[in-house]
Amino acid sequence: MNNGILETSSTERLPKTGRASRSPISTDELSRLKRELLQAEVRLAKARATAVAAEVDIKVLNAHLKSLVN
């Protein structure tokens, strides 16, 4: 049924702020950002591994302490 109201798609309602309005990113800058992201991911993985190791140490020490007390 056509009631005279035209539907607009969601893309037509959104403001036009796509890639065309951004300044171009150089290949060097993109490479630098990718390298920094990788380094941050490595730091996060190391921090998580350290936290897991500390949790294991705590469990082992707690078990040892309980065995000495009992």
Q: What is the pLDDT of residues 13-25, one digit of tens each?
A: 555 555 556 678 8
What is the pTM (predicted TM-score) of this model? Answer: 0.57
Dmax (CA) for the chain in angstroms is: 84
Q: How far is CA 5 from CA 1, 2, 15, 37, 60, in A?
A: 10, 7, 21, 48, 70
Amino acid, res. 66: K
Q: 6 by DSSP, 3-state: which? A: coil
Q: What is the pLDDT of residues 47-65, one digit of tens each?
A: 999 999 999 999 999 999 9
